[in-house]
Structure 1
Amino acid sequence: MPETMFQSLKSISYLFFLIIHLTVFSLNTLAQKKNVQYELKIKPASTEIKIDGIMNEGAWQDAEIASKFFMVQPMDTSFAKIRTDVKMSYDNDFLYIIAICYHEPGPYFVESLRRDFTFGKNDNFLIFMDPFDDQTNGFSFGSNAAGAQWDGIMYEGSKVDLSWDNKWESVVKNYEDRWIFEAAIPFKSIRYKPGITKWGINFSRLDLKSTEKSSWAPVPRQFATASLAYTGNLVWDQPPPVPGQNISVIPYTLGGLSSNHTLLPVKRDQRGEIGGDIKIAINSSLNLDLTVNPDYSQVEVDRQVPNLERFELFFPERRQYFLENGDLFSNFGYQNIRPFFSRRIGLGVPIQYGARLSGKLNKDWRVGLMNMQTENTGISDPAQNFTVMALQRKVFARSNIGGIFINKQSLNYDASNAAAGVSRYNRVAGIEYNLASSNNTWTGKAVTMKSFSPNGGNSDMMQAANLRYWTGNWDINWQHEYVGSDYNAEVGFVPRRGYFNLSPQIGYLFFPKKGKILSHGPKLFSANYFDEKFKRTDNTNYLAYNFNFRNRSNLTGWIANDYVMLQRPFDPTNKGGATLATGSEHSWEAFGLEYSSRPQSLITMALSTRYGGYYANGNRLNISSELGYRFQPYVSLALSSSYNDIRLPEPWNTTKFWLIGPRLDVTMTNKLFFTGFVQYNEQNDNINLNTRLQWRYKPASDLFIVYTDNYLPAPFSVKNRFLVLKLTYWWNI
């Protein structure tokens, strides 16, 4: 297909998006916030409040009550059957909340006392706050019925990043017919606009015994209760207090031992480091973060997965420093075409220092500026500086437009000695429009990026867009992507280049009025890839039918067919053996089942299967499972496994491998945790043992003891060992 046709297709897709947006815009201009009539008035505490889970203070007797929650699931057409009452108050330093969560006779259901639990597997109460009332960004706090805390930052209108931790206090007290959650959240721990007297707010309750999910302000059942488009209003009797000086110093000290047994003689090293972070609130909505010699040794290692992909796998960021307002930087693009991916900074190369300014300038503008400096680790690996600048402007009801600029600069660069892949500089700049209608029915994105490199070519741009229509029954999405062969985002995540992708998707759900099935329906998805000359390179057509049961278990059956024309040599076992030739064509059909059990059971199970064709007219069987058992709320056991049986012609023949990962979680209290897990990866010939003890001796202050081993399975022998002791302290000045 000629280049003019290629450009025409891109123009048509953007025109399609524009027409739909104008339609949605006309609806936006006529609509106001959906649940504006739901108001909870808040006033100063008339007496001192003690956080003990007992509602005996006069301040709570004087506070207004939010009750009569609405059912969200299994149906969204009535009030909740399980009662929840909520009250809020405040003083000069803290925002207080108490929730009385009634339940039917019998025990509650929780996984453990571990912080940031899985929502659907715990009886819980959560708060979703929108302090700017922009229906896009906010904060979430809450607890499960055993007292395990939940906190996260909210972005894109309904998503919650639970990797964010902050300083606050809560207690849960259990009674025969109810459990009470009481919390004090420092105003210094959240960001909000001074002078504003209405915050968006909603309260969410999940009661697994009755399988009921409910919210104070009603939310349609297809959306998460975290959806900020459906918050009510927290109405202040006066503007909330402006925090005074808000500076937090978070130093750490660390000691460690390591040994590398792959070298003879065995190489042994000792570590002794200090460093830390400083958080400076420029105002109540804009924050400056500074870091010196940061260390992330306490961050849990990535969970391994079988890798039979032709492209790099994505693993999420877990380091605390990069998380607050991290969506300002990381949410540009789509999952597989991200211009910025913070894990490119400082993994394998020590970070010397960094600074980041992020937050709200006002209700409509958000800004993010970040600069990070890494060490010089050798002549071939020079020190590098990373600069990222992002600006976002709210438009219409809940949409926004943003721009980003990323610069990676090598210092003291010597081209004659530089390692492969190390360049003098790499830069990416672009803009993005995010569409979100007032009722969240229409969402979408349009993004354009351009890269700048020393030896860049003409095809150095990326363009993509999607539009989604989502109601209670219909879920329809159109997405297209174009990534030029010369587009080079070295600080991003772009595993594939030089392609054009068209990916339509449609699904429909039926909702029976009675019976064991809550909803069921089909889903059809097609991903179609072409090269830059619009020649087909691969595609997947996928048809599934899903059953969601009222007891919160679910079952999905699917069939798919695939076609691949390899653009480069590929080993279909990913074990470093013989490869299939570039240009070879492969097609196959496959089918499978996926099942997850009801979360109320002490024994839980998730199972997925896949059987069908594979590359080179071969066959592949995959069985993956996770079996869990809990002695609630203190001990949780899990065993995950994945088995692959691949049958191919010579020279591969039959390849079988396991990935097995037993895991032990012990939560002595909601401040003392032990985690231990083993990952046996037969595909990579590695056994990994990781144990971590965490003691939160004060809010947001921790002692970590981390021990890691890596072994060679056959003959069984040690590869390396690490032991780290790390102490952090959160100090408010």
Structure 2
Amino acid sequence: MLYIFFNRDVIYAAVLLPSACQVAAIADIFNILARLLQYMKRLTILLLLNSFYSFAQDNDMFKPDSVRRSLEAVQIQTTLHIDGQLKEPEWQLARPSANFIQVEPLQGTAPNFQTQVKVLYNKQFLYFGVFSQDSLGKNAIRATDFKRDFNVLQHDLVMLSFDGFNDKRNSMSLATNAYGVQRDLLSFDDIYYDLDWDGLWKVRTTRTDSGWIAEIAIPWQTLRYPKTTDSVQNWGFNIYRNRRLTNEVTAFSPYPRSFTSMRMDYAGMLRNLQPPPPKTNIRVQPYLITSYDKQKVDGVKIASDAKLKAGGEIKWAINPNAVLDLTANTDFAQADADRQVNNTTLFSVFFPERRQFFLENASLFGIGVSQSPDESGGLMRIQPFFSRRIGLDDNGNQIPLEYGGRFVYRSSKRNYGAMMMRQKELEASPGTNFFVGRYSENFGKQNRIGTLVTVKNQPQGNNTVASVDGFFRLAESHSVSTMVSASNTTNTGKRGMSAYAQYYFISNKLKMWWTESIVTKDYDPQMGFVSRTNVIGTTPGVFWWYRGKHLPFKKWLRAYEPSVFPEFYHQVGTGKLVERSWTIYPVWLNLQSGAYFGYSATPTYQFLTENFQPLGVKILAGPYKYTRQKIYASTDPARKLNLQTIYWWGTYFNGRLRSGDWTLQYAPSPHFSLSGRFNRNNFLKVGELNTSTKIDLYSIEGRFAVNPRVQLIGFYQVNAENDSKNYNIRLSWEYRPLSYIYVVLNHRDFQDLTAKTQTQDQALLKVSFLKQF
């Protein structure tokens, strides 16, 4: 067993030696790994050599310029009225930015649509005036909704990224669309993102016949920068714009199109800033909630309850590097509800975290390996810490949290943090204490090594997981990440381990990866998530992004992107092959409009070590060979009417399975958006009983907004697998920045472990108030 302790300067480790049986088991595991690595050694060398050759030949992958582009800020003594007009005389004092440079589709060329940025500041605010010119004016603007943290594929936008410490690693990014809807996030090395961090800032916009204007005011307290004796500071800074009608991406400081504007080693400079010295920054957010709950079992009411509850959170920015969050009677009534998923694979479904308290600074604790949104990296997910294990049961029901806290420290040299939560004792679950601690040391050019420890403490025993991880950027396009993790559960006596190593090569023409992973049978991170146990995974792959001279129909076709990514899984201990698949995309077309079309085929061998029962269809253990085919297609997602579809067909174990997923969205204006989704799985003579059945899942979702601050959101979902019906209706009013009034109605149907149907209904009113000192 590995125990790890640390302070700011030193990491201590203590090792409890395992028994002879455990030593033998571990030796077997590493013998298997050695055999696999030896078997794939030649292919790995060829992959690396080809990657370096491609890197050397790819002239589009340029290094950061030694002379950084700069934009000068001008100090003023007055306070501006933020109305999206830029009519105050102070704006005439600021010098406009240099012309932007195109990133997409023609990297390095002049933009077809200019963007102009001006910067002012006083003692309270940093101001930005951004004019996005467009010859089509209002007619060119695309926006489908007023959702905060909106989908960037569906909106015109500009995004500002700040590197206040000039470490070329950390980014604080603020984005707005043409209607003043906000999106903000924190980024580290353009790899780890806190997408749901919400900063306190204000923006107003106007739309004209010559483009759109964004006027932005950012309190100095929202930004992070060093306390220094220098009277003038210069920050790393970039801003990019996406004109969604033509998907033209332009930036103040250019970067390779395979990266993002948050890759801060490519950023320019924001000069002549004289911010006030960082001071104590405390945000207090109390809330009051009244609710009525009703529960039924098989249609018979068994409980009802009316409650009045108070609680709240305190966020204390102790200094520019350290933040302390405290919470009492934590409530997540406003969190977006989970959508049901009908799963026909052997991999466990991963439901993302949706609760705001746990989403902030999630990237610091979120080490592990998982599949990227573009399907690269492999299907294995190993995540030692997953915050949904706190305050939620296996059915997604909330378990009250009494109190908790989180401390996070970030700097150019090191990052560390800890979180502790107390879960209330209920009849169905004991009182539980949760702890997660994280430390990582940064060194060289975007390299780091770190450790993470989780402890779940219950009366019947403890579950402890200790992990060591590393990330190494070998060059602009090459990176390696790795992790080793061990778990120990005292009440069962079980100990297990997991590990992975992953290599990535990314250029403007190729994306290649190789992932090796292992999860033993007894690895049990009770505060984490693993998609599969008792397997050794090997998952290489390559994407080819072709935009060359032989690409036809360039007016509407942006890129041809074929790919192949095989997956091999062997059983730990025996080394027996339990799954082999080759996913081949001979066709993937990305259109200039943002639409796409792809076709894949996946020949699969699967040896089931135990019976498998997807959606109630029983499939016996044993070997199977089958081939699945799939079509991905989407129209332009930014249009008023858009359709996305995924359709699978082909053999499936000993029978056939046809599956389809269709989503149709109608958004005539950002004030109104309505979408319907239909999912069908049609089994044909599958499993032990040659079962033929259709299982449908369908939903409808709407968003109605007066403006970005007053919105009504709702969805209704029906699942034929268990005849469950679920809905969530939420009215929200942001009556002042980050202060809300919510009215929420919830209804959930689900089957418990005894196969009884449970129904839960809830109505609640929540009022929160944010005050920043």
- TM-score normalised to structure 1 length: 0.91
Cα distance change on mapping 1:458 and 1:236 into 2, 3 Å: farther
- Shifted more, 255-264 versus 639-648: the winner is 255-264
Unaligned runs of 5+ in 1: 416-423
Aligned to 2:413: 364
Cα distance change on mapping 1:234 and 1:110 into 2, 3 Å: same
Alignment of 1:91-170 (within 5 A): 91-106=122-137, 107=139, 108-158=141-191, 160-170=193-203
Cα distance change on mapping 1:520 and 1:534 into 2, 3 Å: same
* Corresponding residue to 1:472 among 498, 501, 508: 508
Shift of 1:73: 1.3
Which amino acid letter does the alignment assign opposite residue 725 of structure 1?
L
User: 1:369-414: CA deviations, max 9, x gaps?
Assistant: 1111111224x7321111111112212111221111111111xx2x
Q: Is the 1:393–1:401 contact (alpha carbons within 8 Å) kept by the matching residues of 2?
A: yes
Shift of 1:568: 2.4
Shift of 1:266: 4.9
- Shifted more, 288-297 versus 201-210: the winner is 201-210
* Corresponding residue to 1:541 among 582, 585, 588: 582
Q: Is the 1:46–1:62 contact (alpha carbons within 8 Å) kept by the matching residues of 2?
A: no
Determine if the alignment matches structure 1 residue 676 to structure 2 residue 707.
no
- TM-score normalised to structure 2 length: 0.86
Shift of 1:305: 2.0
Which amino acid letter does the alignment assign opposite residue 693 of structure 1?
L
Determine if the alignment matches structure 1 residue 188 to structure 2 residue 221.
yes
Alignment of 1:650-689 (within 5 A): 651-689=689-727
SS of residue in 2 equivalent to 1:660: strand
Determine if the alignment matches structure 1 residue 241 to structure 2 residue 276.
yes
Determine if the alignment matches structure 1 residue 595 to structure 2 residue 645.
no
* Corresponding residue to 1:83 among 94, 114, 119: 114
Q: Is the 1:46–1:59 contact (alpha carbons within 8 Å) kept by the matching residues of 2?
A: no
Q: Is the 2:367–2:469 contact (alpha carbons within 8 Å) kept by the matching residues of 1?
A: no
Cα distance change on mapping 1:158 and 1:485 into 2, 3 Å: closer
Alignment of 1:574-723 (within 5 A): 574-575=615-616, 579-582=618-621, 584-615=622-653, 617-649=654-686, 651-710=689-748, 719-723=759-763
Q: Is the 2:454–2:466 contact (alpha carbons within 8 Å) kept by the matching residues of 1?
A: yes
User: 1:670-728: CA deviations, max 9, x gaps?
Assistant: 10011111111112321112110000000000000001124699xxx993321011011
Determine if the alignment matches structure 1 residue 56 to structure 2 residue 80.
no
User: 1:618-659: CA deviations, max 9, x gaps?
Assistant: 101111111111121210111111111111255252110111
Cα distance change on mapping 1:244 and 1:3 into 2, 3 Å: closer
User: 1:304-361: CA deviations, max 9, x gaps?
Assistant: 222223342111111111122211112344461000001101113211111111132x
Shift of 1:464: 0.4
Shift of 1:457: 6.9
SS of residue in 2 equivalent to 1:625: strand
Cα distance change on mapping 1:144 and 1:190 into 2, 3 Å: same
User: 1:6-48: CA deviations, max 9, x gaps?
Assistant: 242477689979x979x99xx9xxx985465212222423543
Shift of 1:83: 0.7
Which amino acid letter does the alignment assign opposite residue 661 of structure 1?
S
SS of residue in 1 equivalent to 2:561: strand
Distance 1:599 1:7 in 2: 44
Distance 1:621 1:225 in 2: 41
Cα distance change on mapping 1:530 and 1:232 into 2, 3 Å: same
Alignment of 1:347-426 (within 5 A): 347=392, 348-360=398-410, 362-378=411-427, 381-410=429-458, 413=459, 415=460, 424-426=461-463
Shift of 1:51: 1.2
Q: Is the 1:34–1:229 contact (alpha carbons within 8 Å) kept by the matching residues of 2?
A: no
Alignment of 1:566-577 (within 5 A): 566-572=608-614, 574-575=615-616
Aligned to 2:768: 728
Distance 1:176 1:91 in 2: 31
SS of residue in 1 equivalent to 2:670: coil
Distance 1:645 1:35 in 2: 58
User: 1:274-305: CA deviations, max 9, x gaps?
Assistant: 00000111102210000001000110101222
Aligned pair count reads: 704
Cα distance change on mapping 1:33 and 1:77 into 2, 3 Å: closer
Shift of 1:193: 2.8
Q: Is the 2:193–2:363 contact (alpha carbons within 8 Å) kept by the matching residues of 1?
A: no
Distance 2:534 2:158 in 1: 47
Aligned to 2:207: 174
* Corresponding residue to 2:556 among 500, 504, 516: 516
Determine if the alignment matches structure 1 residue 344 to structure 2 residue 380.
no
Distance 1:652 1:190 in 2: 62
SS of residue in 2 equivalent to 1:152: strand
SS of residue in 2 equivalent to 1:225: coil
Cα distance change on mapping 1:3 and 1:275 into 2, 3 Å: closer
User: 1:454-484: CA deviations, max 9, x gaps?
Assistant: 2677862211011111111111111110112
Distance 2:197 2:645 in 1: 30
Cα distance change on mapping 1:135 and 1:685 into 2, 3 Å: farther
SS of residue in 2 equivalent to 1:293: strand
User: 1:181-231: CA deviations, max 9, x gaps?
Assistant: 011112222333333833222111111233311111112222233433422
User: 1:577-636: CA deviations, max 9, x gaps?
Assistant: 6x3333x11110121211111134211111111101112x21011111111111212101
Determine if the alignment matches structure 1 residue 256 to structure 2 residue 291.
yes
Which amino acid letter does the alignment assign opposite residue 448 of structure 1?
V
Q: Is the 1:67–1:83 contact (alpha carbons within 8 Å) kept by the matching residues of 2?
A: no
Which amino acid letter does the alignment assign opposite residue 657 of structure 1?
I
User: What is the Cα-based RMSD across aligned positions, in Å?
Assistant: 2.7
Distance 1:284 1:152 in 2: 17
Task: Report the identity percentage.
Answer: 27
SS of residue in 1 equivalent to 2:676: strand
Aligned to 1:563: 605
Distance 2:152 2:422 in 1: 37
Distance 2:531 2:264 in 1: 33
Unaligned runs of 5+ in 2: 1-26, 57-61, 372-380, 393-397, 752-756
Cα distance change on mapping 1:447 and 1:718 into 2, 3 Å: closer
Distance 2:116 2:438 in 1: 41
Aligned to 1:434: 471
* Corresponding residue to 1:38 among 53, 64, 69: 69
Aligned to 2:595: 553
* Corresponding residue to 2:253 among 202, 217, 220: 217
Shift of 1:135: 3.4
Distance 1:122 1:447 in 2: 37
Distance 1:408 1:144 in 2: 42
Distance 2:464 2:750 in 1: 40
SS of residue in 1 equivalent to 2:703: strand
Aligned to 1:294: 330
Determine if the alignment matches structure 1 residue 485 to structure 2 residue 521.
yes
Shift of 1:516: 2.3
Q: Is the 1:111–1:117 contact (alpha carbons within 8 Å) kept by the matching residues of 2?
A: no
Q: Is the 1:93–1:243 contact (alpha carbons within 8 Å) kept by the matching residues of 2?
A: no
SS of residue in 1 equivalent to 2:531: coil
Cα distance change on mapping 1:57 and 1:159 into 2, 3 Å: farther
Distance 2:470 2:714 in 1: 43
Distance 1:442 1:624 in 2: 36
Cα distance change on mapping 1:20 and 1:587 into 2, 3 Å: closer
SS of residue in 2 equivalent to 1:59: helix
Q: Is the 1:33–1:438 contact (alpha carbons within 8 Å) kept by the matching residues of 2?
A: no
